[in-house]
Structure 1
Amino acid sequence: MADSKKPTLVIVPGGWHAPSTYSKLTAALEAAGYEVRIPALLSVSNSRPPTADLNTDTEVVKDFVTELVNEGHNIVVILHSYSGQVGSNALTGLGVEERSKAGKVGGVAHLVYMCASASLEGVSMIDKVKEFGHMELMPLAFDFAEDGSGVVAAPKVTMIGEGVPEEEAEAYINTFLRWNGKCMYQPISRAAWREIPLSYIYTTNDMTIPLVYQKSMVEAIEKEGCHVDTYELQTGHCPNLTATDGVVDIIKKVIAKVQA
């Protein structure tokens, strides 16, 4: 990024998460002087049966970010959980370097995978579960209906963990919507991290995307020849809620590197 202007931050929600679910992180980032935008994923709704999936979410995020970069925004995209699949799929061709080669201003300067799925092409989220032999744990973690929509079975335990008062945890969970669990079985076809610099935030106490999954994904990306800056938070799967200040500090460090 050539100038000193702060980039726009785009947070792409994870499964079950609505834009409002990120209100605490959004407020903290805005207090630090950043502009924050959040698209709503169509697979995250209370539709029965679900009417959208990974492909639909990909188009939503692609269109959302394309509009911003065409307006000249330089963007850092924060991808949480499932949205790592969406962002990887959606953001190819939108990087600052790719757009500059085409004589265009604006672009995605950096991807931040926050305990997010960071897969190679042709890989789904469920492939990682199978790789580690954890398929029998799926019914314990998630409650999926016959129509494919589902909820988190014990969100205070598997999603949040320790670190916030009971009332705050309840308010967070109350923003959740049903998600199309079929998205977990859909592989990505593109990997934007091949074109756009990336960082990964490890969450060491994560019970939804365990640390061993996270590290294996980063290792796989680095084997493809892409460097990954890594950071670590001692928290569960929702650091936006349970380690907000830590996330903000990491984003500041990422942006300092982007602007250097």
Structure 2
Amino acid sequence: MSTSKPSILFIPGSFALPEFYDVVLDPIKAQGYEIRALHLLTVGLTTGPREGAPPTMYDDAAFIAKEVEKLVDQEKDIILIGHSYGGIPLSQSTKGLGIEERKAQGKKGGIVKLAYMTCLVPDIGQSAMAMLTDVKEEHRVQFRLDERGWFHQNDIPRAASISFSDIPQEEGEAWIRRMPAHSAVSFTNELTYAGYKDIPVSYLICEEDLVIPLRMQRDEIELIEKVSGKKVDVTSIKTGHIPPASQPQKVIDWILSVIAKA
């Protein structure tokens, strides 16, 4: 591994713009780290959904891989951090880009760590939609599907009470109103490559999450450990689904700890 600081790419959740995470990424950047959030292809623009057919989860994964390739071409070590839906394309994107895979080919640089912040982490053949069917009906956010294949937030008060369950209702609703559309098909795309099999993993459990409940998060950690044969580095905090909104300092501390361990 390089002795220089790793580069960090943050993979947002569904309906989430990169700037939603500035509150936790900017303080880390101020400490001299190269860190930025990506604008996933499946997330519509603030002025409306992207033109043409909605992108797939595989399009997101290919986009992430291209961004990683730009960094490994500079022989940099990379940490990928994902949130919510972002855990799926993150896992899908890493083929051939892990530090050990590249080292075996005589190449420098590569992904040294995958870090999941209350993410969807499916098994091979699973999709986001399949995983979320296990969530209690009263905790499922409802979306409106438009004629072009994009999901929109359908019930703002309900979405706020579920996704932002640990901040005041009016603040949660303000967050929901900022969210653009999200590609519907991406929720149905099944994982075909599990990057967590070969790359070390850290996981931030959010104990009070209603979207990805604690039981599901623990099942995902068990899956990763079974598939990889390695222990997951687990940190647990008492927050809802979007801890940058309610406990940003705890997220900052976690990211810095992931960097230090990597």
Is TM-score (shorter-chain normalized) higher than 0.5?
A: yes
Task: List aligned pairs for 1:92-111, cutoff 5 A.
Answer: 92-111=95-114
**From 74, 78, 85, the counterpart of 2:77:** 74
Task: List aligned pairs for 1:176-195, cutoff 5 A.
Answer: 176-195=179-198
Q: Give the structure 2 partner of residue 241 of structure 1.
A: 245
Task: List aligned pairs for 1:44-59, cutoff 5 A.
Answer: 44-45=43-44, 46-47=48-49, 51-59=54-62
Partner secondary structure for residue 16 of structure 2:
coil
Q: Give the structure 2 partner of residue 141 of structure 1.
A: 141
**Does 2:40 align with 1:41?**
yes
**Does 2:88 align with 1:85?**
yes
Residues 92, 190 of structure 1: 8 Å contact kept: yes
Matched to 1:243, the amino acid is Q
Residues 161, 169 of structure 2: 8 Å contact kept: no
Matched to 2:26, the amino acid is A
Cα-to-partner distance string for 1:113-144 (whole Å, 9 max, x where unaligned): 000111221111222233x374x457x51223
* Deviates most, 70-79 or 26-35: 26-35
CA distance in 1 between counterparts of 2:52 and 2:213 reads 29
Gaps of 5+ in 2: none
Cα-to-partner distance string for 1:187-245 (whole Å, 9 max, x where unaligned): 11001111210011111111111111111111122222232111111111111222211
Cα-to-partner distance string for 1:16-67 (whole Å, 9 max, x where unaligned): 0011111111212213332112221111103277521112111111111111
Residues 9, 35 of structure 2: 8 Å contact kept: yes
**From 186, 203, 211, the counterpart of 1:200:** 203
Residues 74, 108 of structure 1: 8 Å contact kept: yes
Query: 1:246 deviation in Å?
Result: 0.8
Query: 1:181 deviation in Å?
Result: 2.6
Q: Among all aligned residue pairs of Structure 1 and Structure 2, give the percentage whose two residues are the same amino acid.
A: 30
Partner secondary structure for residue 40 of structure 1:
coil
Partner secondary structure for residue 141 of structure 1:
coil
Matched to 1:34, the amino acid is Y
CA distance in 2 between counterparts of 1:204 and 1:197 reads 22
CA distance in 2 between counterparts of 1:146 and 1:94 reads 36
Query: 1:2 deviation in Å?
Result: 4.1
CA distance in 2 between counterparts of 1:216 and 1:233 reads 17
**From 224, 232, 235, the counterpart of 1:231:** 235
Q: Give the structure 2 partner of residue 150 of structure 1.
A: 151
* Deviates most, 10-19 or 218-227: 218-227
CA distance in 2 between counterparts of 1:174 and 1:22 reads 16
Residues 20, 175 of structure 1: 8 Å contact kept: no
Cα-Cα RMSD = 2.2
TM-score (norm 1): 0.89
| Change over 3 Å in CA distance of 1:165–1:142 after alignment to 2 | closer
Aligned residue pair count: 253
Q: Give the structure 1 partner of residue 220 of structure 2.
A: 217
